[in-house]
Structure 1
Amino acid sequence: MAKKSIGPVRREFVPWENSDHPPFIEFRNVTKKFGEFVAVRNLSLKIYEKEFFALLGGSGCGKTTLMRMLAGFETPTSGQIFLDGQDLAGIPPYRRPSNMMFQSYALFPHMNVEKNIAFGLKQDSMPAQDIEARVSEMLRLTKLEQFAQRKPHQLSGGQRQRVALARSLAKRPKVLLLDEPLGALDRKLREETQFELMNLQEELEMTFLIVTHDQEEAMTVADRIAVMDKGELVQVATPAEIYEAPNSKFVADFIGDVNLIEAKVTEKSDAGTRLVSVVDGFVIDSEQETEAGLGETVWYAIRPEKVRIAQGRREEGQVNQIDGLVWDIAYLGDVSCIHSKVGEDDHDTIRATFANISRMVENPITWDDEVVLSFDRDAGVILKG
């Protein structure tokens, strides 16, 4: 029986849960070397039709190289890449059923918006009447009708980004490749454009593949995310699974904020696992089972929003409670983040975040307060490394 995804998915159709469903894009044992440097290492990945898929990772992790190999701008050292069942080996970029939108947008400065969008269609010798209809459709989809006669220098950054998007979509590729497409936009405009991209992808029912280093962007737009590190896939899953059930300390630390508590396994049973923190010796009772053996060191990963904080000290004999001393406070408007010192070392801190629901708070927690931090049995994840 197929595994059900953790958290919400934007579509009822989730082909990655069906092993019999053929992939639309497939990387098979792909390796790419630049001299002695291995940019992508023996990587295999399946992406499905109509999926909005994100490649996420830090600089140098191999995500852009992977996309460039799919686009045809780089050639794999070994392995195969398939698109809609076709082996792409030897097919030049301009003959591949894909289009790539670059971070720089690369618009023609001497052409207006309409002509920029029509350029690729004219290169393909499409009839003039069809070009006019397609350009009109792209202008409508990207909400650029009123800017059709303007040149790139007369547009805002967000408008130029939409022109580049319209030009990339005009040829109706089987897959649209987006290389850090929103990096040049300010935060508010970037957030608005993320939702525009999602709506556009759903309306066109097209496969989108985005490369980004922005975790929030990947979590917002993608159906699934592939987290990469040093040319390898670390975890491929839905945004909720990546966040709530990371498969390693690296993923837990890379995605969002997290408390990583070093601990040792002291008890194991069908009901879960009991740990003792290396710092302060507090007891963690988790409903999760672990492959780690008794006495083995593990990491307990818990997100700050799952940690409760209150003034006072922990009750004797209680589990999942930690004594702390408020070390720092960050007021972020919608939420507050409190760092509490739980050990002798200044780095031994645990973060707790909570929503600022009311405008006025009586007896707020402040610096140097003694506090008790607590959490539920299902709040965190036990990771081996």
Structure 2
Amino acid sequence: MKSLGSTRRSFTPWLDKETKPYISFQNVTKKFGDFVAVDNLTLNIYEREFYSLLGPSGCGKTTLLRMLAGFEEPTSGEIFLDGVSLKGVPPHKRPVNMMFQSYALFPHMSVRDNIGFGLKQAGIAKAQITERVDAILKLVKLEEFAKRKPDQLSGGQRQRVALARSVVLRPKLLLLDEPLGALDKKLREETQFELMDLQHELGLTFMIVTHDQEEAMTMSDRIAVMDKGTVIQTGTPAEIYEAPNSRYVADFIGTVNTLEGKVKEKAAGKVKIVGKDGFTIEAATTDQFALNTDDTAWFSIRPEKIKVSRSKPDKQTNAVEGEVWDIGYLGDMTLFNVMLDSGTIMRASVLNAKRTVDDPIGYEDRIWLSFEPDAGIVLER
């Protein structure tokens, strides 16, 4: 089987039927009055996995995290951690730690004392506290800041102190609720890789809640895309991006063009769709493709999979002409919003591999958009 994208590490316990889940939500429902925050959800997460819950505000992802931490109890269903039911177990007796977006550092304590506070409360011997705090300070690269107070640190440094305090207790599971939301874009990107390296080095299980698609795609082994209290799709970042199972997932992850049409021809491994916009789409399909002739289908294709040209392609399918409506220059790439004659806007992106362009495309130019049959995916819902 061909890979849908690069993999961060060869770690796929979910593909092994013999591997037991480390965290298991079994038919979990959580209601707040008449509002159903989590709706009969079943979900399995594996040991040492970096797992992301991704979805819009109000989809239930933070409620899942809070139930796992013990701050909320399920209305029905059960949650297991390492094979043990968490029903009735109070938060302080769970081998779980939670890191919040606010960091909640003690302003009057030094970095060292903030990190060691939980160990002191747990009654750990002083010599052992010193040893463990020294080790974690080195791991998060904060040795030279050990004596500083939180208000003497940058946002990124405070974030690392909060992370160090969370992992120094060596919990079985670390829960992160929008942990990078307060950082600027560049620092957030740097911290994402630091988090990944730390998780891998410590061998812990990380479960993160985020609404930032790029953040989830960068750090996760797997992502669960949520909506209205349910999981719509679970998969690796490449699977979620390249093979969404619905228009909702395709639209939520990154930028996508979704074209509606009717199935006109169907054969082994391919389908022909006549779009509402009048042009014919020839697409590759799998053996699981269930639509029949005259059924409505949606063809989803990412902007970077579309070729932009001034001249008409030789192919009769998968090519359409339009007028450049908007141009966005992002440095590494240029985005084109192209209006088709039907009024539909399609977006295409072109990598800026050279510093200069001999014949740059401008506003109101007529151009052609084309793509290969396997560049997009046909969706049934």
Normalised by the length of structure 1, the TM-score is 0.97
Residue 27 of structure 2 aligns with an amino acid whose one-letter code is N
Residue 283 of structure 1 aligns with an amino acid whose one-letter code is T
Say yes or no: does 1:291 pair with 2:287: no
Q: Distance in 2 between matches of 1:287 and 1:299?
A: 13
Q: Which residue pairs with 2:363 in the alignment? A: 367
Which consecutive segments of 4 or more residues in structure 1 shift more than 6 A? Answer: none
Q: Which residue pairs with 2:235 in the alignment? A: 237
Identity of matched residues, %: 59
Q: Which residue pairs with 2:218 in the alignment? A: 220
Question: Cα distance, 1:314 vs. partner?
Answer: 5.0
Q: Distance in 2 between matches of 1:287 and 1:102?
A: 44
Q: Distance in 2 between matches of 1:134 and 1:308?
A: 54
Question: Cα distance, 1:5 vs. partner?
Answer: 5.7
Aligned length: 379
Q: Say which SS state the counterpart of residue 116 (structure 1) adopts.
A: helix
Residue 350 of structure 2 aligns with an amino acid whose one-letter code is F
Q: Distance in 2 between matches of 1:256 and 1:147?
A: 38
Q: Which residue pairs with 1:67 in the alignment? A: 65
Q: Which residue pairs with 1:305 in the alignment? A: 304
- Asked if structure 2 preserves the Cα contact closer than 8 Å seen for 1:5 and 1:241, the reply is no
- Asked if structure 2 preserves the Cα contact closer than 8 Å seen for 1:28 and 1:81, the reply is yes
Say yes or no: does 1:282 pair with 2:274: no
Of 44, 50, 53, which residue of structure 1 is paired with 2:51?
53
Residue 327 of structure 2 aligns with an amino acid whose one-letter code is I
Residue 288 of structure 1 aligns with an amino acid whose one-letter code is T
Say yes or no: does 1:77 pair with 2:87: no
Question: Cα distance, 1:13 vs. partner?
Answer: 3.0
Q: Which residue pairs with 1:377 in the alignment? A: 373
- Give me the CA root mean square deviation: 1.2
Query: Residues 97-144 of structure 1, C-alpha deviation per residue, up to 9 Å, x if partnerless?
Result: 010000000001111100000110011100001000010011011111
Change (3 A) 1:40 1:4: farther
Q: Say which SS state the counterpart of residue 92 (structure 2) adopts.
A: helix
- Asked if structure 2 preserves the Cα contact closer than 8 Å seen for 1:313 and 1:370, the reply is no
**Structure 2: gaps of 5 or more residues:** none
Q: Which residue pairs with 2:324 in the alignment? A: 326
Of 159, 174, 177, which residue of structure 1 is paired with 2:175?
177
Say yes or no: does 1:166 pair with 2:164: yes
Q: Which residue pairs with 2:125 in the alignment? A: 127
Question: Cα distance, 1:4 vs. partner?
Answer: 7.5
- Asked if structure 1 preserves the Cα contact closer than 8 Å seen for 2:284 and 2:377, the reply is no
Change (3 A) 1:228 1:11: same
Q: Distance in 1 between matches of 2:251 and 2:11?
A: 30
- Asked if structure 2 preserves the Cα contact closer than 8 Å seen for 1:100 and 1:168, the reply is yes
Normalised by the length of structure 2, the TM-score is 0.98
**Structure 1: gaps of 5 or more residues:** none
Question: Cα distance, 1:231 vs. partner?
Answer: 0.3
Q: Distance in 2 between matches of 1:314 and 1:147?
A: 60
Question: Cα distance, 1:93 vs. partner?
Answer: 0.5
Q: Which residue pairs with 2:336 in the alignment? A: 338
